[in-house]
A and B are shown apart, each in its own frame.
Chain A
């Protein structure tokens, strides 16, 4: 299979490379670009562990052909920390709320939360639940994840 050009913004940096058209975004990120923070749980777009932000919206990178991000902007968990290395408030709130157990769904959860708060800074609990419904967690029962997002939004009772 011949290769095609791909140019896109990744965590604020321009990236340009060649790849075969059947390359999935998650494999591009993990195996070619060495960004292991995006996880693979099911390879069928069900668990959300592979969530990344595409132009600010969450997508399941395990079922997205990489060429679909042509000319667009992608953010992975590695791109969330601030330029000076300090954590995004959502990350800090996850730590403090006890919302991290095995951590495998954590990057996906955090990115979905970021997409929510960027668009809706003071969401209600139902809105938080709906926004995070695309990520499965087997460890936490979701309680402290919701509390972490509420704390980050300043809406925790």
Chain B
């Protein structure tokens, strides 16, 4: 009699019990056939041939073109609006105002506080006052000009600290403080008393633009059966669908959202598709015709979400030997006009609370206090941008660590060695890091490759005229894998067919990071087949299970685990069939690269597809379904204590810069970055994320800023919102380390966001090292570096 349990091992990946890390290290790793390999991207061929169709490439026959009339004022009452002239322009199909929204006149990724069409007031210059649908874009543009709106301008709130004043104009009914959150650990008074040195600094960072090269576009197509289809590039199909349903006044199951290939997202396409999707859908519903709504580059800057600006004050105390004793932080987190992804989703979701949690940095500090204020202003709103609140606070803690090191006369690496997390450390939220903590290893690996010892001694002028000075800097960081909400989870379906081909259904989207390659790799590895046997179905909410958004560096890990679960269900059936065919117990069978064989007698073998065909003919289940949720997030709302995110990726970056002390220009001349990623499912793609992320961090340090004047963005295009070109980014050496994550597929953790985080402070620290000038308000453009040098008493001799 066959033992039912043969071949089924309790797998620590899929349980939430605490696992002995040392035991994991001793377990021999099975040699992976597909996962862990640098296979080429599955969609690269279509992309290099120009054959892949993005949203703007879809046919426009029969589509109306949608356009949005936006407010010219950052804060104003709408006194009247007249649309007759616009409506009577030939070729105009609809001109809609607030009363024309069929369902809820509000959308938002967390709180639906942003009007689809503003009725009574406008809160930033990107607010929509009317929507137009016309036969051509040109006519739509003309129609916008014919809409007559009377505004009564209101005083605008343009600074988060101003927003909190008693007498500040109220942007929303409930007031300007969207969220106040605090973290309390230990006792600050004790901490200060134990310190030999205490310093306090304030750092400020501006609005940033994602600047994905593919502009936003959406298509809303009313279906004959009364349902609505919305398709376009997007990171969060399910969040988009939920909002559409409410705005249209329809049940969720009558709204279908389909993601099309995306030319970059970086967090921006998490909520911009909700914005234009809802507006296109309202136009489509009203006219009964398909509507295409595309944003021009300038409209993206005016209207869509940004990275939150912050004013961060940080005070640290340390002993003479560099041991940190206390840290106090205050964050003024500028939310802008609408809530987007800022507010708290209990217990630890939303960007604001994430910033609070990350503010103390990856260091052991016994006494910590953080006060974080999330404030509405009449500015563009903050959403998700690669790092979700972590980049900003890293700029604060990594710079103050260097400033502290300078006070103490210590090497910046040594002060980090004194305090950096290791296995068993407690974080500022009291979380014990009991597995997969490679922070120190990344520091040493990076220092070795960068040759920190030698290079840090070569600070100084590189030219006889003494105009250019070289310096080096370090930045350390950590970043979660998951979003810290109670509802974080991922579903995957795997269908095996009788010819051995497989359909993989997930709701995770591809924006260039490589999910469409990595997720099939995991599926193929688990099933024991070749990568080209797996076809991933593009996310369509009607076909794929709820998966959450493609954000938070969660996809490889959470969806990978769900895929493994689903694949194992199906594999059971296939192995049972193979067992019957080979007359070998299931427990002795191995599946690998499309074949199944008897481990003890490898000549006894058959093809995966033969076993699949047999399984189907026997009525065995060939549909696998996975649902994976992380260990539950916890965070006390009063103290900020708990385990908000179940695992972290760690990294250390080192940069060499040359500063022209006469002009303030900075050139990054060398760069090394080391990461603990748990397990690299596709090492080449991990490198790709590292290199792209570092470039983005470089942009934040040196050149990026949405300039606002009286609430109006000034630099709307890529001509004056500068992002790094190929001339700005040096060679980057990546080091991938693997401290396996017991809750990750083959040990993996996330990588998407980590690389752009420590890059910025590493470069800022290098600038300070090179020229003595410390830029505390970004970007460190030539003018700011020039004045920082002067403030420091002129260039070093």
Chain A residues within CB distance 8 Å of chain B: 30, 35-44, 46-47, 49, 76-78, 81, 87, 91-92, 94-96, 98, 100-107, 110, 129-130, 132-133, 135-146
Contact = CB atoms under 8 A, between A and B. Distances in A.
Given A42-B297, A101-B514, A102-B214, A143 B731 contact: yes
A103 B213 CA distance: 10
Interface in B425-450: none
Contacts of B717: 42, 44, 46
A133 B726 contact: yes
Contacts of B719: 44, 46
A139 B727 CA distance: 15
Interface stretch (B42-50, B107-115, B460-468): B42-50
Given A37-B50, A42-B297, A138-B692, A98 B685 contact: yes
Interface centre among A37, A46, A107, A138 (most CB of B within 10 A): A138
A132 B684 CA distance: 22
Pairs A-B, 4 closest by C-beta atoms: A37-B50, A102-B512, A104-B263, A103-B47
- B47, B213, B731: most-surrounded residue (chain A CB, <10 A): B213
Contacts of A132: 726
A132 B729 CA distance: 13
Interface string B10-48: 000000000000000000000000000010110111111
Given A100-B48, A141-B694, A136 B685 contact: no
Contacts of A49: 213
Contacts of A144: 684, 687-688, 691
A138 B729 contact: no
A144 B685 CA distance: 10
A102 to B, nearest CB: 3
A65 B166 CA distance: 56
Given A36-B57, A42-B718, A43-B297, A101 B50 contact: no
Nearest to A78: B50
- Contact size class for B? 35 or more
Contact of A106 (B47, B57, B690): B47
B772 interface: no
B50 A77 contact: yes
A98 B684 contact: yes
Interface of B is mostly: loop
B262 interface: yes
A143 B214 contact: no
Nearest to B513: A101
A103 B52 contact: yes
A91 B688 CA distance: 17
Nearest to B719: A46
Contacts of A141: 688, 690-696, 729, 732
A37 B45 CA distance: 13
A110 B684 CA distance: 20
Contacts of A130: 727
Nearest to B53: A36
B49 A77 contact: yes
Interface in B317-374: none
B729 A142 contact: yes
B212 interface: yes
Contacts of A41: 213-215, 297, 718
Contact of A95 (B45, B210, B513): B45
Given A87-B48, A141-B695, A98 B40 contact: yes
Given A101-B688, A102-B213, 6 more contacts: A39-B214, A87-B49, A98-B684, A104-B512, A107-B48, A144-B688
A104 B213 contact: yes
A37 B56 CA distance: 11
A134 to B, nearest CB: 8
Interface of B: 38, 40-41, 43-54, 56-57, 210-215, 261-264, 266, 296-297, 511-514, 684-685, 687-688, 690-696, 717-719, 723, 725-727, 729, 731-732
Nearest to B263: A104
A135 B297 CA distance: 16
28 contacts: A39-B263, A41-B214, A42-B297, A43-B296, A43-B297, A44-B717, A46-B717, A49-B213, A76-B50, A81-B49, A91-B49, A94-B48, A98-B688, A102-B214, A103-B52, A103-B261, A106-B47, A137-B213, A137-B692, A138-B212, A138-B213, A140-B688, A140-B695, A141-B695, A142-B691, A144-B684, A144-B687, A144-B691
B215 A37 contact: no
B45 to A, nearest CB: 6
A138 B726 CA distance: 10
Contacts of A143: 687, 691, 729, 731-732
B218 to A, nearest CB: 16
Contacts of A38: 50
Nearest to B46: A103
Contacts of B723: 136, 138
Contacts of B215: 40-41
B766 to A, nearest CB: 18
Nearest to A110: B48
B718 A103 contact: no
Nearest to A145: B726
A146 B40 contact: no
Nearest to A140: B692
B266 A138 contact: yes
Nearest to B686: A98
